[in-house]
Amino acid sequence: MTDNAPKGEARPVISATASKGRTGAYRRLPMPARYAINAILVLVFLVVGELMIDGGAISRYQSTVLEQVGIYIILAVSLNIATGYLGQLPLGHAGFMSVGGYGCAIFIVRMMETLGVTARDFVTGSPVCGLLFVGGLLVGGLCAAVCGLIIGIPALRLKGDYLAIITLAFSEIIRVVMLNIDSVLGFKLTGGAAGLTGIPGYTSFLNVFVVVAVVCFLIHTMMKSRHGRAILAIRDNEIAAEATGVNTTYYKTLAFVVSAFFAGVAGGLYAGCIGVLQPAVFGFMKSIEILVMVVLGGMGSMLGSVISATFLTILPEALRAFSEYRMIVYAVVLILVMIFRPQGLLGSYDFSLSRVIERVLNHDFPWGKGGTGKGSAPDAADHEPSETTDAEEVSADAGR
């Protein structure tokens, strides 16, 4: 684990020469093809989902649950940046979510008055509403990101548990402020304990899905970039990362702010999905709920976050009849997973369809001839989450 950081610095050179030298040996998919495969997959999912909703196979209630699944996916994936990739433990994700939610909802409600748009227009859909929706989410995200910056700068000076508790403290402060800010300001902003009402239902399955896809894509590409590598290096060994020239303060703050931004976006979607925002919802328990999703799925695995967010959002809905027991089941599952699989269900493994296709193209199956990669792949996959090409290349080089 410790030698990852230096390797990261040298990697571009290694992979450039290695892939040129071995084009005949191991057939690879070109990057455009990889993107195309994923884009097609996303489209297929989207079209199938929309058709099922339009055709009535998914009821109104079920599509609301699906919207919530999407929102929790964004929350889990964004928290994963700070927890899984950066290796810190922020306990205040719900705070960012609430800031984003309030920011987005207040922006949209106020702009509706100015532009003369009614709540009905969001259902029928108009270009202005589309712009308003995107603008609202961006405003929500930016509000949360600013909070993330304000919190991140002092919080990231601290380590481990202290960071956890200071983020918890900040999110509790945010909650109290949301609750009581109206009496200080003297006009109605957040609506206090009664909550912010009259938020138009601008969230639909379609736009949640698109936002989820965009957020996952952005986070994925960020983690594949130089900046993402720097963040991973900090997680693996902060001192080594600093010694190799990574600006640790900058990248820690960056990861924190990006994480907060997407939580804010999710908060904006949440506001439109539920229609009411109350500060009490965004307490400590909400933060924990999101953290549980990340940890259960496996810290540092995007697929893990997506699966466990989906599962843990649908499970309580499916268990409505046993709602008293579900939280106990939840707690027991959490403890058992931690005892028997401390790294989470998927560890830091990430699924890549392109990698599977490459395996098939090269007749390289885990159960077949164990020549290329697989022997050392689990090890590489453990440390390098979504690393496909380089990790295998390095291990293949080592095997030669």
Which residues make up the interface to another protein (CB under 8 A)? 89, 154, 157-158, 160-162, 164-166, 168-170, 172-173, 176-177, 179-180, 239, 284, 288, 291-292, 295, 299, 324-325, 327-328, 330-332, 334-335, 338-339, 342-343
Q: Nearest-CA neighbor of 393 among 11, 2, 1? A: 11
> For 101, phi and psi rounded to 5 degrees?
-60, -50
Nearer to another protein, 178 or 213 (CB): 178
Task: Please list, residue by residue across 216-240, b when 16 or more beta carbons sit within 10 angstroms of its beta carbon and e when fewer do.
Answer: beebbebbeeebbbbbbbbbbbbeb
Q: Which residue's structure tokens are 């939610």?
A: 101
Query: Which residue, 16 or 327, is less far from another protein as judged by CB?
Result: 327
- Minimum CB separation of residue 66 from another protein in Å reads 26
- Shortest distance in whole angstroms from residue 84 CB to another protein: 10
Distance CA 119, CA 106 (A): 14
Closest separation in Å from C-beta 118 to another protein: 35
Closer to another protein by CB, 177 or 319: give it.
177
- How many Cβ atoms are within 10 Å of 301's Cβ, its own excluded? 26
Structure tokens at 249: 């303060």
Q: What is the C-alpha to C-alpha distance for residues 79 and 88, in angstroms, rounded to an integer?
A: 10
Q: What minimum distance in Å lies between the beta carbon of 173 and another protein?
A: 5
Cβ distance to another protein smaller for residue 10 or 327? 327
Instruction: For residues 312 and 296, give the distance between their C-alpha atoms in angstroms, rounded to a whole number.
Output: 10
Short-list 375, 366, 373, CA closest to 391: 373
In the complex, least distance from residue 341 CB atom to another protein, rounded to whole angstroms: 9
Query: Angle of helix 284-297 relative to helix 323-340, nearest 10 degrees?
Result: 50
Closer residue to another protein (CB): 161 or 379: 161
Cα separation, 147 vs 259, whole angstroms: 11
Which lies closer to another protein via its Cβ, residue 111 or residue 240?
240
Question: In terms of CB distance, is 87 or 275 closer to another protein?
Answer: 87
In angstroms, the CA 75 to CA 82 distance is 11
